[in-house]
Amino acid sequence: MSLDPSLLQSLADRVGTPFWVYDAGVLRSRIRQVKALTSPPKVQARYAMKACSAARVLREMLAEDIWIDSVSGNEVLRALRAGYPAGYDPAKICFTADVFRDEALKVVLQNNVLPNIGSPNMIQQLSEAGYRGPISVRLNPGFGHGHVNACDTGGPSSKHGVWFEEAKAIAEAAEAAGQEIVMIHAHIGSGPKFEELHDNLSRLASDFAKIVPVFPALRGVNLGGGIPHDYRDPNADFPLNLLRNLFAEAQEDLSRVAGREIQLEIEPGRFYVAPAGTLVSRVHDVKATQSNAKGEGATFAMIDAGFVDLLRPAMYGSWHRIEVVGKADRPTEPIVVAGPLCESGDVFTRDEAELLQPRELPRPVPGDLMTLHDGGAYGYAMASNYNSIGRAPQVWLEEDGSVSLMSRRETIEDVIDLETDEPLAL
């Protein structure tokens, strides 16, 4: 989807470039799709808030009773500030991690948040802190596939979770510590194809059914996220109704094996928010290199957005649709889109092998706006202050056309505010 050029120009004049704009209508459409998937009885949707933890987005989720999967103590606090209730019954906020970092353990204890542990020693750490409440366990099922190899969330190369064959041992350790395992969880990633996701989810549900008897206090099973988003084709249509049927059947099977009602959960992140967020930048120059013995020359469009704003292309070689605003009907040519950072990797058009991959784009001129699409997931959420650059502002576009500022542009005062010269007494 392309946003109205005049709107983008007005926003650029108002807040400067680069900036993020989130389309409320697109986000709500994706929420409705997930709600339809989880409409069978005892099937519940969560939101993996690490994808985009903005308060405005969290409030949209809360309004539709989408529960939260958080992965840090601060994410728990953000969810609480957005209005989510603490507590275990129901556990509308779940904390998933392989390590208790910073204040996470304290936050979990003080707010009665369900800990979803991914490392066995976390049971001991909870016990030493005096915790005797319910827990969830993230298991590594031995298989799974992310959108790139670096994102694999299951299998021997994945750091996440307790190895599946250790389920009985982790159950015994929890019982010895006075902690009831009320949920088991795994995340197998989205994989490259919908069919693979469907097959992997079916396999995961079947594998979970085999170990349900190991957990006598079990009340829930979480199959993770993984609903795919097609970054190359915004109109791609996945047969999501097949997932609805799968979830309904899995919930019934798990409940039958357990001899009691088991709640089935899923926790998409990317699917909700990816298409809702667009990064808007301005072209500052167009320049070229010449071919020589080292390689072919290229035409570079130099924009003011960089990997401090959208890291995924530099980190994973991820592909995002790019448009030169208002020039969709112009002839195209191969263009490399590069950012302002003092870093050779600050290029948005690379492949997974880190080689330049020019896009067929209308030739821009300085002053043109350029949009990078489908960045709502892991865009602003992964932004940084590298080169001491402040994070870009975020704008909310309501369905009636009204706009509001979700977060302002960071200043140098914001960036250096944490610096200190405080002596430490040892």
As annotated, the active-site residues are: 342
DSSP 139-187: EE-S----SSGGG--SSTT--SSEEGGGHHHHHHHHHHTT--EEEEE--
3-state secondary structure (DSSP) of residue 316: helix
Question: 31: exposed, middle or buried (C-beta count within 10 Å: 0-12, 13-18, 19+)?
Answer: buried
DSSP 59-94: HHHHHTT-EEEE-SHHHHHHHHHTT---SSTT-SEE
Q: What share of the chain is helix, strand, coil (3-state, %, to 5)?
A: 35, 20, 45
Q: In 3D, which of 318, 227, 321 has the Cα closest to residue 272?
A: 227
C-beta atoms surrounding 227 within 10 Å: 23
Is the preceding omega at residue 90 within 30 degrees of 0, hence cis?
Answer: yes
Q: How far apart are CA 162 and CA 9, in angstroms?
A: 50
DSSP 182-199: EEEE------SSHHHHHH
Helix 55-63 / helix 73-81 crossing angle, nearest 10 deg? 60
> In degrees to the nearest 10, what's the CA dihedral of 221, 377, 146, 43?
20
Greatest Cα-to-Cα distance within the chain, rounded to the nearest angstrom:
71
